[in-house]
Structure formats: structure tokens, C-alpha cells
Structure 1
Amino acid sequence: MSAPSSICLLRTSAIGDVTHVVPLVRTLQRAWPQTSLTWIVGKLERKLVSDLPGVEFVTFDKSAGWAGMRDVAAALQGRQFDALLHMQVALRSNLLSLGIKAKRRIGYDRARAKDLHGLVINERIPARTGEHVLQAIGSFCEPLGLKQTEVRWDIPVSEEDRAWAAEQWPDDRPTLLVSPTSSHALRNWLPGRYAAVMDHAAARGWRVVLIGGPSSGERAMADAVLAACREDPLDLTGKDTLKKMLAMCSRAQLLLTPDSGPMHVANAAGTKVLGLHAASNPARSGPYSDRRWCVDKYDDAARKYLGKPASEIPWGSKIEHPGVMELIEVDDVVERFEAAAGAMGIG
């Protein structure tokens, strides 16, 4: 088919899912370099991707409620796109899409659609199960006649942010980043168990760096972890930005984290990820490029809390029950840490 003149991408949040859209952008740009791309993105998430070349960004501030939706509609007033790729099914995003005029409105298949999503689209991506979230997002180019065959991020990082990251630890000792907090509290591991793994890494000669955002919840988790540590890590909680985190990930050997945005930022930077999965399925939402170093207790969680194996529950089910992350023991994480270190040739 001929190249469309304009495409609008709608994926406002969250950080991890926004990183999954970047390879789709690269696919579209590679196939149709003259096609105009406009991305409706969240206010925070824009800070990670706003300097992607060849993309126009329109910010959606969800905290502004209806006013935020009106602002997006005003920014697009008088414009009609050849295609809208509607990659978010939440009710707020479905309402937001009403302010976007497009001839083709491509959304999720029926099984993955919810919150009236089917009423605001006129085409659907192929119905599949067993896909990683990145693959599902990548399939939005298929109704347009393309196929995402390559996954590439190359998210820009400024020299200023790289310099800041280099100042935090100037030597090349192997570095373990620890981002202990997910936006879903029931995905968080126990502070004392984080501390035990961090102490193990420090005893093995690794530098340990604690990172996280400026929110009160992330500060509280960091403080609880620090209180349980025998060896003091470098605490950069609340001191970085999304771009600085990307720069730090590119300098570190390994990130320890639950299912969270930093997991996917690190993966996009090419950093190995020791992901902690019990509440969510790593095959669907783990680090896309390499899940060998993740701890996977998802099947154990399904059996304990749902009474059946993971293979018998709907794909993508969350098992966010109190205590679910306690299924992950310190020894499970230490074993994956040592396996990753061995694979990297770090004795």
C-alpha cells in the first residue's frame, strides 16, 4: 500500500509502555520516512521520549482532567490524520481519542479491548494471545500493511545527562542499580530482602546504587531498604530524571527491580535486568530483550492464590494479592545475580 501522509499514535502512559512504542515508531519511520508522525503522550512520559527525531509530540496532562483533554483537542483542531493507532484501552484514553480526527482508527482486538474501546475505533489489530506487551504494540502497524521485524530503541541521551551519570561513579567497578518501587504497591518486594541482596553484591565487590523517583512512597521505600542494609549503597533516590536514569542504566551492568517502568527503561538501554515477578507474568511484561535473569514465581502465585497453574488463567492476568511477592526468597534473587554476573564474566 502507499505510504500514509500522517499517523497519530495514542499511548499516554505508563513509562514502560511508552518505551514499547519506540520500536513501533522506528518501524514506521524506516518504512515511510516521509510520513508525518504525531504522538499523544503523557506529561511525565514525554520527558523520556520527546527528543525522538522526526516525531511531533502533543502532551496530555491527565491530572488536568477534562481540561487536559480539551487541550489536546485544541492542539489538533482542524487536522485529520490518515490513521490513528489507538494503543491504550482505558476509559480516559478512549474519551481522549474522540478529539482526534482520523480516517482509520485502529485499536485492540475484542479480547483485549475494554472500557468502550470498540466504540471509538473502526479497525482492530490481529487477535492473538501469548504476546509480550511490546509485540502487541508492534502489531499496530499490521493493518497498515507493515510488520515489525526489528526492535530498536536508540532513545536519545544528552551529553549533559551522560556527564551527570559519570560523575556519580567515576570508576568502572561493576555496578548494580536497585530500583525497589513499582507504581503498583503489591508488586513491591520486601525492604529487608532487597537489603540482603544488596549486601551480597557489595560483599562480592560490586558498587550498589539505589535509585527511584521523588515521590514520598519511593523515598519511604528507599529509607526502609537503607535501614536494613549493613553496607551503605550510593543513594540517588529522587536525584535523577528519566533521562539521567537512562544514562545511569547505560553505565550499569545490572538492574534489580520489580515489574516497573525502570525495568523497561533499562532494557531499552541494553542493560541486563534482574526482574522480580510473582504478581505479573514476565513473559508478557518482563524485560523484552532478555528475561534470563528474572525470578519467575508467577506460576507459584497462580497456584497459591487462584488455585490453578498459570497456563490455565487468562493471559496477562495480574495476581496482585497481599503477600504475593513474599514468594520470592533472597536465595532466588542471589542465584540469578550470580548467574548474570557469571554470564558477564564478573567473578
Structure 2
Amino acid sequence: MMHFRKRLKNSPIYHLECLRRMLRILAINATLPRPARHQKRRGIKIGLLKRGGIGDWVLFSPALEALRNGLPAQDTEIVVYTEARTAEIARMTGLADRIVVFDHHAARKRARVRHDLLSGVRREAFDIWIDADISRTSIGDAFALASAAPIRIGYAASALERCHAQIERRAYTDLLPDVTGKVHMSVRFDRLLRHTIALASSRFGDGNACDRTDAGRQSGLRRHTWQGRDSRILVIAPATSSPIRNWPAERFAALGSALSRNHALQPIVVGDTEDAALCARIAAQLAEFGAQCLAGRHSLDDLFDLIGNARLLLTSESAPMHIGYLTGTPTLAMVSGADFTSYSNYPPARHFAVASHPDRSCFDCRWYCVHPIVAPDANRKCLAEVEVESAAALAELLLQSGPSGTHP
């Protein structure tokens, strides 16, 4: 599959498509209002694009906190552009002065929606624009170009994003090397926003700004800390964004059953509304322990509180994994190897463990699996061979070791 993709990217059709996309973005930009002259004013106005999922925002919040406190609080305005599904967690951080919610799909497909959105970005007259998305996208490039900010920061296009490389010199003034798959995503975000602090300090003359990352406002997510030392709650979060990332439901039920029996725990199964059938199936198999299925019946704030008050969290590779690490809750995550370095490979902590395939030689494949694929939605080898017994041994260690505090 990877070799096919490389051949595709060397084809004339691919280069014509890149040219079409580049011309389209430039044409969109030409229809926008002329950039406002950046008047001298006190303070710095920052526009920031951050989409992704809830887990991405959990990973992003420490870096946003560093940006918030690395610049003069009274003189800095941060405006975050995000989608409806992450608007709640963006508000929970308490780190943005304004949050603009937009429909990414509508902006891509409908010219009037896209024009109104990007015209609004242009009229803001930002001093700095930051593309903090997980990967480069055409709409992200269009945002950066539309902002016309004196400083426009993002990540350089990777080898698999050569279309975006065609326009990045126009869209961005500063690009950091792509490090996806080489460092943990929290480190990637931290580098991006600390680079922003350094540029802002140099450009706008606050030489001491970089030294003030430990003062001022904290992310609102930090108020959720582990309180479950004497709790009897076992939270199970089995669902992810894709079936191939889900550890089998039967194994979650078997693991939950063993732990509930050995430690007198009550399982509570959580997830989104679309995960209700999966969660209900697991809860039904744990009925003898008083299991509850709360899928689709809790807010995001409720989920943070529930995880923070649990004795143990069992999770797939999804947002609850990151919430567990942040809150300091003893957390066992059943993970694949596809994006291991970017997401699952947190710095060592007594309260956090991952159950994964012992042979990690093929990890970080980004879903270009080198092993035979049984079916499109089937677990890949790295996750399919994670057994209940090995996961149970890790869970027992977590129950004995205690917490290590919240993620710094």
C-alpha cells in the first residue's frame, strides 16, 4: 500500500491535482477583503486553528497554557477556531478569550460558508496565526493565508503531504519540521507554541515573556485530579474512532469481570451515543457486579469527574486514555502500534500503563500494516494479540502502585 501511494504521488495526475488545489486556495484568497493595515496597538492578537478530537485537546492544553502564560496576560488576546465536537473541551480549558465554532465540512463544500468564515478571519487583523492541527489540510492552509498575519506558524508538509508543500511558502511565514511519529504529540504541540512565544517576544519586544510560563492562568482541565484511592469504581472506555482501534469487547468484559471479582469493584462503561450498543454489550456481561452503561448519558465534564474518581480506568486508545494520564488516575490502555509514539508512548508514570504487542519492531506504521489483514475493520496483529492475561497482570500492578500525580 505504501509503495502504491508513493507511485501515485509521482504521477502526472497527482501533480495536476496539487496544482488545482493550490490555484483554488489562491483564488479563494483573492476574493477576500484586503488585509487591514496592522495598526500599532498595545498587546498581541493571536488566532489559533485547533480541530481534532477530545483527546487531541487534552494533549494540547498544557502547550496552550504555556502560550497563555508565556505572553503578557493583560495584553494578549487568543481566539481559537475549532469544531462543534471540541468546543466544550476548548471552553473547559478556560485559556481562550474567544472561541469561534465552525463547520469544517460545510467550509470545504460550500463557497458562501467558506467565504464568510475566511472573511471573518481576515477582518480580525491577527498579529499571529497558528495552525495547531494534527496534520496539514487545505482548509488550514486557506485559514493561514486568509489571516494575513505578520507571523503565520505551522508545521512543514510531510513526505505524504506534498500538495501542501506547493502553497506553504505563501501561506506561512514560519514552519517547523514535521515530527509526527517521532515524538509524543504533547511534545509536538509544546514545541510549536513555545516557538510562537519566542517569535512573539522577538517581534513585539517583550524579552522576558519566555520566562513566564509558570505563572498566571492554569488550564481548567487541571482541576480534575485523582480522588479515587478508596473508590470502588472501575471505569471501562472501550470505544475509539475506528473499529480497528477497538480492543475486542469480549476481552474488556473478561478483564473487567476478573478485576471486579478480585477487588470488589463496580464497572461503569462509558462512551459516546454512537458507542451505546458496544458499551451495553459489555455492561450486560458484567451485570453480576452491578455494572452500569452510561454511554451517551454523560457530559464531558461528567466524564472527567468520573475518571478522576475511579479506582482504575480500562480504556482503548482514545480520549479517556489521555484524560486518565492527565488526572493521575491509574490507567491501563489497550493500544495498537500504528501511532504508538505520537499518542500512547507517554513519559513513564506509576499510574499509567499500556498493554500492547511485545514486538514493537513494526510500530509507528501509521496504519500501513506489514502483516496480513484479515478484514478491513478487523484488529491489526499488534492489538489482536493483546491477551486478557497480560492485561490483567498490568492492571494488578496499577492497583498496587498508587498514583504519581497529574501530567506536568
TM-score category of the 2 structures, normalised to the smaller one: 0.7 to 0.9
**Greater Rg over alpha carbons, structure:** 2
Contact 2:283–2:292 (8 Å) recurs in 1: no
**TM-score between the two structures when normalised by the length of structure 2:** 0.69
Counterpart position of 1:101? 148
* Contact 2:49 2:80 (8 Å CA) reproduced: yes
Matching residue's letter, 1:323: N
- Is 1:155 the equivalent of 2:221? yes
Change (3 A) 1:143 1:344: closer
Give 2:47's aligned residue: 8
Give the structure 1 partner of residue 248 of structure 2: 190
Q: How does 1:67-216 map to 2 (within 5 A)?
A: 67=110, 69-88=114-133, 89-111=136-158, 114=161, 116-118=163-165, 119=167, 120-126=171-177, 128=179, 130-144=182-196, 145=198, 146=210, 153-155=219-221, 172-203=230-261, 204-215=263-274
State the Cα distance separating 1:86 from its structure 2 match: 0.7
**Which digits, 9 at most, give the CA deviation of each residue in 1:291-313, with x for residues without a partner?**
6411122x63x6xxxxxx23xx7
Match of 1:26 in 2: 65
In structure 2, give the amino acid aligned to 1:122: T
In structure 2, do the counterparts of structure 1 residues 16 and 275 end up closer, same or farther at CA, with 3 Å as the change threshold?
Answer: same
Describe the shift of the 1:258–1:148 C-alpha distance in structure 2 as closer, same or farther (beyond 3 A): farther
Counterparts of 1:55 and 1:282 in 2: how far apart (Å)? 33
Q: CA offset at residue 234 of structure 1?
A: 1.8
Q: Superposition RMSD on alpha carbons, in Å? A: 3.2
Work out the CA distance in 2 between the residues paired with 1:147 and 1:20: 22
Distance 1:142 1:54 in 2: 17
Given residue 55 of structure 1, which amino acid in structure 2 is its aligned partner?
Answer: D
Structure 1 vs Structure 2: percent identity of aligned residues? 19
Q: CA deviation at 1:113?
A: 7.3
In 1, the alpha carbon distance for the partners of 2:195 and 2:95 equals 24
Q: How far apart, CA to CA, are the structure 2 residues paired with 1:75 and 1:282?
A: 38
- Decide which of 361, 379, 392 is 1:323's aligned counterpart: 379
State the Cα distance separating 1:137 from its structure 2 match. Answer: 1.1
Q: Which amino acid aligns with 2:304?
A: L
Alpha-carbon spacing, 1:45–1:234, altered in 2? closer, same or farther (3 Å): same
Q: CA deviation at 1:212?
A: 0.5
SS in 2 for 1:293: strand
Residues 131-173 of structure 1: per-residue CA shift (max 9 Å, x gap): 10111111112433159987x7442779xxx9xxx9xx9x953
Unaligned runs of 5+ in 1: 303-308
Q: Tell me the equivalent position of 2:20.
A: none
Aligned 8 A contact 2:235 2:313 in 1? yes
**3-state SS of 2:52 partner:** coil
Measure the CA separation in 1 of the matches of 2:212 and 2:160: 21
Q: Residues 141 and 48 (structure 1 numbering): CA distance in 2 closer, same or farther, change over 3 Å?
A: closer
The Cα shift of 1:278 comes to 1.9
Aligned mates of 1:62, 1:110 — CA distance in 2: 20
2:353 alignment partner, SS class: coil
The offset of 1:21, in angstroms, is 2.0
1:305 corresponds to: none
CA contact 2:273–2:295 (8 Å) conserved in 1: yes
Counterpart position of 1:306: none
Residue 99 of structure 1, CA deviation: 3.6
- Structure 1's 53 and 281: CA in aligned 2 closer, same or farther, altered over 3 A? closer
Structure with the higher fraction of residues in helix conformation: 2
